[in-house]
């Protein structure tokens, strides 16, 4: 069982334009789609579509349109009831795949709600004997910036050797906080994109430099291993993806695809990695699945989540950048 947590879920409305975005002008939509989303929800969708056992955790009233959408889609989920409405995010996609996102801030969760949310997480881990817990997405307004870091430490203290492996996909202060404390706060897997990897690397390199050089990105990923992270999966858009583990570092690139929307591509990459991990795959195959899932998502409209039929594993080339002693792939 893989459990995902989405603290700040969103009802995603994706609008496909028939021409490039023109600020200040009136434009017509070619198509529009609405889907319950948020990074953790997206990961759970991809896992569920692949037949994997999963459970999405999130705040939200049973009557909220987002929660009703999840129920209609039959996505396994549990919610923490709150009084406030969940947010709506708007995504504008032009014919060339250029994506513009407008994200609402989301509802404020009280101190009591945060305690109840942690209890929901713990009870779900206990009941389903989870193998992975995925903490994904932004934090709603007022939530402590180090929430993910402190949650990881608390769960490890509580569950000890029974604690599931923990993956985190976030940005900004919550991402940096993962490495601001001790090793007990550090996730087993972190999945930054180019911008987020640059944030973690500090002033040493820019997003553009990391995306232009897989070797530079791999070096930035490898430095995170020194803090206790077991694996770093960096998604670099059209430049592919890099995976760093104790066994080595690898770069994957997919044959070019026609990009229709980048929304959810990173979430799909993470899901691909977790699916390969659940199958007992070696690092190279985990990276191959991550790259295939991410590229498949980018080729689909809006926040559409790819299924296995959308994948082209044979279109992914994986190159070893460094293999350490005792590694095998």
Closest CA relative to residue 263, chosen from 139, 153, 147, 99: 99
Rounded Cα–Cα distance for residues 188 and 121 (Å):
17
Residue 130: partners with Cβ closer than 8 Å, 6 or more residues away:
1, 2, 3, 55, 124, 164
Please, how many CA atoms are within 13 Å of residue 167, restricted to the half-sphere of its CB? 28
Question: Catalytic pick from 146, 169, 267, 277?
Answer: 267
Beta carbons of 174 and 147 less than 8 angstroms apart: yes
99: CB partners within 8 A, 6+ apart: 91, 92, 93, 261, 262, 263
With H, G, I as helix, E, B as strand and everything else as coil, classify residue 26: coil
Active site residue 314: no
Dump strand ranges (E) for the chain.
2-5, 10-17, 29-37, 54-59, 77-80, 87-93, 99-103, 132-136, 165-169, 189-190, 231-235, 241-245, 248-254, 316-323
Task: For residue 42, give both structure tokens.
Answer: 């997206």
Just list the catalytic residues. Answer: 267
């Amino acid at each position: 069982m893989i459990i995902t947590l989405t603290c700040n879920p969103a009802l995603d409305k994706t609008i496909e334009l028939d021409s490039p975005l023109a600020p200040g002008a009136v434009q017509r939509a070619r198509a529009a789609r609405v889907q319950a989303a948020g990074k953790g929800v997206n990961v759970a969708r991809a896992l569920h579509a692949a037949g994997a056992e999963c459970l999405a955790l999130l705040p939200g009233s049973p009557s909220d349109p987002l929660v009703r959408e999840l129920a209609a889609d039959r996505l396994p989920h549990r919610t923490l009831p709150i009084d406030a409405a969940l947010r709506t995010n708007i995504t504008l996609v032009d014919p060339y795949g250029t994506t513009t996102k407008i994200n609402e801030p989301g509802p404020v969760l009280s101190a009591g709600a945060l305690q109840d949310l942690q209890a929901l997480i713990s009870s779900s881990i206990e009941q389903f004997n989870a193998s992975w817990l995925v903490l994904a997405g932004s934090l709603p307004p007022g939530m402590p910036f180090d929430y993910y870091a402190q949650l990881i430490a608390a769960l490890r203290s509580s569950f000890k050797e029974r604690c599931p492996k923990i993956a985190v996909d976030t940005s900004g202060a919550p991402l940096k906080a993962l490495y601001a404390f001790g090793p007990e706060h550090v996730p087993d897997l972190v999945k930054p994109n180019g911008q987020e990897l640059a944030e973690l690397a500090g002033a040493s390199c820019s997003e553009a430099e990391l995306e232009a050089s897989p070797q530079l990105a791999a070096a930035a990923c490898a430095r995170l291993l020194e803090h206790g992270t077991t694996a770093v999966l960096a998604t670099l858009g059209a430049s592919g993806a890099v995976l760093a583990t104790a066994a080595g570092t690898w770069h994957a690139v997919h044959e070019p695809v026609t990009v229709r929307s980048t929304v959810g591509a990173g979430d799909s990459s993470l899901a691909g990695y977790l699916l390969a991990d659940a199958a007992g795959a070696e690092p190279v195959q985990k990276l191959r699945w991550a790259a295939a899932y991410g590229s498949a998502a980018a080729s689909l409209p809006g926040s559409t989540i790819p299924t296995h039929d959308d994948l082209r594993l044979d279109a992914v080339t994986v190159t070893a950048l460094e293999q350490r002693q005792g590694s095998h792939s």
